[in-house]
């Protein structure tokens, strides 16, 4: 679903990423780990063509070179991005946020996810359908943002700081929903500061330092070598 080859990007004249190679397949969850400020969010924005500008290398979605594609075309192809600030429409109700996602959904893209199914897993949203999304707590906004993204039936889901602000039971429930979607063919690229959770949940890990990928491998390998991640992520 996603292939980056020697991708470089940044903001204006300021370079941030240097020669990044990455691959995310359908039915796979990949986690990008690294300390704060190393370029993880810039990578997400580069894939989405939102604020960050790709200055070199290759960005492919499926078999298509999307270097010239604007943000909205990438979204129409099936990329959904849940940024760290959640990106919900605060002035709209929870119901209206979800309805917009349903209007943007493409049934041909697979994922058999309905509003009723997801609200059954997250009743807090069902209870607050008529309320402004802006009054939700941080954790509730995160749930809404992810549920809204899933309702579009994406091909590729980008999650920036997936578990931030969520209590452990809710992280587990969201992880179960995402795992089922991955089994149905969804490709997921996630950022998370909890490296232990990421190595348990994801299939494959990339580690970034100063805008470059410095380590990668199957999550099972990293789980067997905990000191390997600790050394990379130590402050």
Number of domains composing the chain: 1
Q: Which residues of the chain have pLDDT under 70?
A: 110, 235
44-59 pLDDT tens trace: 999 999 999 999 999 9
- Structural domain boundaries enclosing 84: 25-51+70-233
In eight-state DSSP terms, residue 210 is T
Q: Residue 30 sits in a domain of what CATH number?
A: 3.40.50.300
The answer to the question of residue 7 being in a domain is no
3-45 pLDDT tens trace: 999 999 999 999 999 999 999 999 999 999 999 999 999 999 9
E-strand ranges in 83-234 read 156-160, 187-191, 204-209, 212-218
0.85 surpassed by pTM: yes
The answer to the question of residue 90 being in a domain is yes
- Contact indicator for 130, 95 with CB cutoff of 8 Å: yes
The answer to the question of residue 5 being in a domain is no
Q: What is the structure's pLDDT at 235?
A: 55
Q: What is the structure's pLDDT at 110?
A: 64
The answer to the question of residue 19 being in a domain is no
């Amino acid at each position: 679903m996603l292939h980056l080859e020697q991708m470089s990007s940044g903001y204006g004249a300021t370079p941030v990423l240097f020669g990044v190679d990455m691959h995310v397949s359908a039915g796979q969850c990949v986690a990008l780990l690294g300390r704060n400020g190393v370029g993880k969010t810039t990578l997400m924005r580069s894939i989405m063509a939102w604020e960050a500008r790709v200055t070199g290398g290759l960005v492919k979605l499926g078999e298509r070179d999307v270097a010239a594609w604007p943000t909205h075309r990438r979204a129409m192809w099936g990329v959904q991005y849940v940024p760290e600030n959640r990106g919900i429409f605060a002035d709209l109700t929870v119901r209206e946020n979800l309805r917009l996602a349903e209007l943007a959904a493409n049934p041909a893209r697979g994922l058999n996810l309905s509003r009723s199914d997801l609200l059954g897993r997250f009743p807090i949203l069902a209870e607050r359908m008529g309320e402004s999304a802006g009054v939700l707590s941080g954790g509730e906004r995160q749930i809404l943002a992810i549920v809204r993204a899933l309702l579009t039936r994406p091909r590729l889901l980008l999650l920036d700081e997936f578990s931030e602000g969520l209590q452990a039971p809710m992280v587990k429930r969201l992880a179960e929903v995402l795992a089922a979607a991955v089994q149905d063919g969804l490709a997921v690229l996630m950022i998370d500061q909890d490296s232990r959770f990421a190595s348990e949940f994801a299939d494959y890990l990339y580690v970034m330092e100063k805008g470059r990928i410095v380590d990668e491998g199957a999550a099972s390998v990293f789980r067997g070598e905990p000191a390997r991640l600790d050394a990379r992520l130590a402050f």
